[in-house]
Amino acid sequence: MLSSSTNNSGDDTFQRSMKAFYCFPAKQAVYLDWSVQATVSWILSETLGSRNVAIIAEEDVQTLSKADSAGLLEAVVQTVNDCLAEAPRFGLKAPGTSLGSSEVLEAISRCNSTGGPNGRFWALDPVDGTLGFVRGDQYAVALAMIEDGEVVLGVLGCPNYPMRKEWLSYHHRYHRIISKLTPPTSESWDKGCVIYTRRGSGEAWMQPLIQGHKKLVWPNSATPVKVSTIENPALATFCEPVEKANSSHSFTAGLAHSVGLRKQPLRVYSMVKYAAIARGDAEVFMKFARAGYKEKLWDHAAGVIIIQEAGGVVTDAGGRPLDFSKGIYLEGLDRGIIACAGAKLHEKIIRAVDASWNSSSL
């Protein structure tokens, strides 16, 4: 495990950023994004010093700063303070007194980095998969550290990720019914994890959020995760986004058929798709955006490094590494994104894309 084998300051930064993910209670989606962003920003700034922290993130303070948003801001402030009150349980410092509105707004507004090829910045998606959160389905909190255009740390908090992959396809209401029929000692329905890694480690780790239906207090044992060893497309499971707005299901369906992927696609909200591949629950993730849509850096950075260090491959459809040095967007992306559990499977997908692309309408 990382914490027992490394001790330098960079690893301390990694551990602290990862532990911050345990402080988030479930709140209403309307203000959750701001609340998570403020909490992560405050913890990183307190840990590393605000002058040393640059964050590129999805939310700004414009809406919260309006006179008619006083109630919304109050809810965000309360949620942030609720989160930070739990910080000492996870080895993190809590504020001496509750944060006020101005301090919460300052923490959110500090997330104003524009990224780029030089220096260090953090990429944060406070709630990736808002619709999944609203529906009680899959969503993630994603944080990555990028240095000189290269992702070096990645953390994915997946509060609803079940410990058995077959339950990914079931709605949370079905979960409640089955859990009542399941013996209390069963771990079938244990869900919630943090998956994290560091560039060059050659491993990714998974830390459970609950076990035996009880919340775990940090620290607890983490286990390494590895990608699947399946190379035969006929045995592979592929993931794709649930929503059709920014992804072509018809193209991926045709592509899956042409390459020999026969299993029903696993449609999952958010970067949980990356976690599923890293953990060996699926083998392929394909996303081909519709014309005019540009992929954002924070939607992929943490997931990409986690799959890579777990033994998988992530590139654009041309086989090139994703470029995180161009600011908010993944500029220069060749057609789409392909993540696979192994190089052989990845090469088969790349060849199939080349063979099918000219006949598509994307």
Identify the CATH assignment for 233-359 out of 3.40.50.300, 3.40.50.170, 3.40.190.80, 3.20.20.100: 3.40.190.80
pLDDT at position 68 is 87
pLDDT at position 134 is 77
pLDDT at position 240 is 73
Please check whether residue 85 is in contact with residue 59, taking contact to mean a CB–CB distance below 8 angstroms: no
For every residue of 104-168, DSSP letters joined together read HHHHHHT-B----SSSEEEEEEEEE-HHHHHTTS--EEEEEEEETTEEEEEEEEEEEEESSGGGG
Q: Tell me the three state secondary structure of residue 240.
A: strand
List 121's β-bridge partners, or say none: 146
Q: List residues with catalytic annotation.
A: 33, 130
Please check whether residue 58 is in contact with residue 100, taking contact to mean a CB–CB distance below 8 angstroms: no
Domain extents for the chain? 1-112, 233-359
Nearest CA to 155 among 284, 305, 54?
Answer: 305
The pTM assigned to this predicted structure is 0.84
Integer distance in angstroms from the first to the last C-alpha of the chain? 44
- Scan for tokens 């104003």, then name that residue: 112
Alpha carbon distances (Å) from 153 to 82, 192, 231: 27, 20, 28
pLDDT at position 91 is 77
pLDDT in tens, 305-336: 999 999 999 999 999 999 999 999 999 999 88
pLDDT in tens, 136-155: 788 899 999 999 999 999 99
Between CA 223 and CA 98 the distance in angstroms is 35
Question: Which stretches in the chain have pLDDT values below 70?
Answer: 1-30, 163-190, 210-220, 241-249, 358-362
Alpha carbon distances (Å) from 351 to 318, 319, 338, 355: 9, 10, 12, 6
